[in-house]
Structure 1
Amino acid sequence: MNNKLLMALSAAAVITVSGCTTMAEMAGADTASLNVMATEGFNKTVQEARGNKTLDTSSATYRRINTVFNNLRPYADQLNQTGEKFDWQLAVLKSDTVNAYVAPGGKVVFYTGIVNKLNLTDAEIAAVMGHEMTHALEEHSKSKIGAQALTNMAIGIGKSYAGASIGDLGSAALDFGAQVGVGLPYSRNLESRADQGGLMIMARAGYNPQAAISLWEKMNKLDGGGSGTSFLSTHPSNTQRIEAMRKNLAAAQTVYNQSSVKR
């Protein structure tokens, strides 16, 4: 256990949840370190997916996701205030799983199931992508790590920074998500921020933000069928959430209407 983590544990009793980011940095989870760790985990995920032939680099679904990713990336870069340049990368995995997640520094993982099962339009893909990009841009993993350090004395974080092997459970993608705090429940406040930020990014990139509403309506319909989708379990979706997005829709719609590009 490194000295920074020991310092964080000692301070846990006196630091409130509002200091989650500071707590994470005391535990060694500064922006640069998180980005490096995320890159290592992402590379391992890609390597494993390539080995078991689940890495999608050529299908029509991949091409659609990749096009949206590249269309949103410049606008996401404009909003980057982390102090570290992001090396945005995308991995599309062949799976019926309805899920997508992001890791620090702009490492995005999409499962083909989220597009194919929900029959997403390009604009709806942009809503998912913008949501995940906002998590990375606002460093929500850092906030989550800080919260974990406060609530459970950083169990698991020490393992990550001790260089523990990824993929102990036989799936680098799943362990990667757990290790850096992506693919796991964020607080409702951070989810709301990701929703709002995602609306603005997709609107800037020329995608109609109305698609974010239809996306979550599709999510709710699928979940109502008892599917227990991974994306819904990690990104709570409910009527209140959709209503909150409706309240922010006017501002995003204005940005979209003023955009010189329409997708």
Structure 2
Amino acid sequence: MKHPLIHLAIGSLFVVSGSVMAQNNAPQDGVKVGEMSIFRKLAGNGQLEGQAAQQYAQTMQQAQEQHALAPSNNPQVIRLRAIAAKLIPFAMRWNERALDWKWQVNLLGSKQINAYCMPGGKIAFYTGILDTLKLTDDEVAIVMGHEIAHALREHGAERAGKTMAANLGVKALELLASVKGYDPNLAGALGGGVAKVGMLKFSRDDETEADVVGLDIAARAGYDPRAGVALWQKMGMASKGAPPQWLSTHPAGSDRIAEIQRHLPEVMPLYAHAKGLDLNAITAYKTNVKGIAAVD
């Protein structure tokens, strides 16, 4: 569903100090994921971060020109920045480059159910995701942790690198077809179709990885990772008629819930430690929407 975009933005810089060990792989405790993709090196992270900073600044400038810049005392802005300030220190361990990022958090007024974190730590939330889904602080942290994880795992550079490699593959297929006497245009079209389906799969894998890493970050910051289950139940209510999973860059909601539940044994101890609670004494997570059961 498309809605008119009403820009509402605020910039906020977070400076995080302290020595935090950063690494490309998962920490020793918490969730485990593999090495970051080598394809990200093809695109060049520094260049992407610079481009992202420019694009982000332009978006903020446009919002200012439209007189849609919310004041710093906007309750939702204060809320988002407070949650980000808790998450960011625990993000550093996933990527040492994040130590030098100039983190920002902005609120974009739109009915779109969306949020993102661009390379370099440029975070934006849309009012639609906060208002439509009635997100609790724990659920905001799950969304934000997921988006931060995309930047930390350098998925933007990875996708750019994979696109470059796929394009080279299609060109090679066209050349081979021409040498063999076949129609290079037909070969290129077939190869491009296969590459497109493959890129959708890569994107779904990135989404799953971001879900898992985001859970780890949120739990360490003291936010209940079980909120991810309620979040995707809410998302399912709001996204009726979504495309089938194999034609989508995002995994199906039921698959995401199953993946979150699979990793709860890894992240619930982190949450309990952050809250200073006995793991066995933690009560079920209850969201604020009727019809969604408590999550044990």
Question: Under a length normalisation based on structure 2, what TM-score does the superposition of the two structures give?
Answer: 0.64
Q: Distance in 1 between matches of 2:145 and 2:49?
A: 19
The aligned counterpart of 1:124 is 139
After superposition, residues 21-170 of structure 1 pair within 5 angstroms as 22-26=38-42, 29-57=43-71, 58-82=73-97, 85-152=100-167
Instruction: Say which of 215, 219, 242 aligns to 1:203.
Output: 219
SS state at 2:100 partner = coil
| Counterpart-to-counterpart distance in 2, 1:69 and 1:234 | 26
Q: Which runs of 5+ in 1 are unaligned?
A: 1-19, 155-183
* Contact 1:55 1:94 (C-alpha < 8 Å) held by counterparts: no
Give 5+ residue unaligned stretches, structure 2: 1-35, 170-198, 278-296
Matched, 1:219 2:235: yes
**Separation of aligned partners in 2, 1:48 and 1:22:** 35
Q: Tell me the distance in 2 between the aligned counterparts of 1:99 and 1:55.
A: 18
How large is the Cα RMSD of the aligned pairs? 2.8
Which residue pairs with 2:259 in the alignment? 244
What's the CA shift for 1:257?
Answer: 0.6
Mapped partners of 2:209, 2:88: distance in 1: 18
Q: CA deviation at 1:261?
A: 6.5
Measured in 2, the distance between the counterparts of 1:201 and 1:72 equals: 6
Residues 188-226 of structure 1: per-residue CA shift (max 9 Å, x gap): 2111110000100000000011111111110011112x5
For residue 23 of structure 1, report the CA deviation from its aligned partner.
Answer: 4.8
Q: Give the aligned residue type for 1:31.
A: N
Q: Which residue of 1 aligns with 2:205?
A: 189
1:23-62 Cα deviation digits (max 9, x unpaired): 5534xx3122211111111111111112113333442222
Number of equivalenced pairs: 209
Instruction: State the Cα distance separating 1:238 from its structure 2 match.
Output: 1.9
Structure number with bigger Rg: 2
Is the Cα–Cα contact under 8 Å of residues 210 and 249 in structure 1 kept in the other structure?
Answer: yes
Query: What's the secondary structure of 1:187's corresponding residue?
Result: helix
In the alignment, is the contact (CA less than 8 A) between 2:92 and 2:99 conserved in 1? no
Kindly tell me: are residues 23 and 202 of structure 1, through their superposed partners in 2, closer, same or farther at Cα, counting changes over 3 Å? Answer: closer
Corresponding residue for residue 7 of structure 1: none
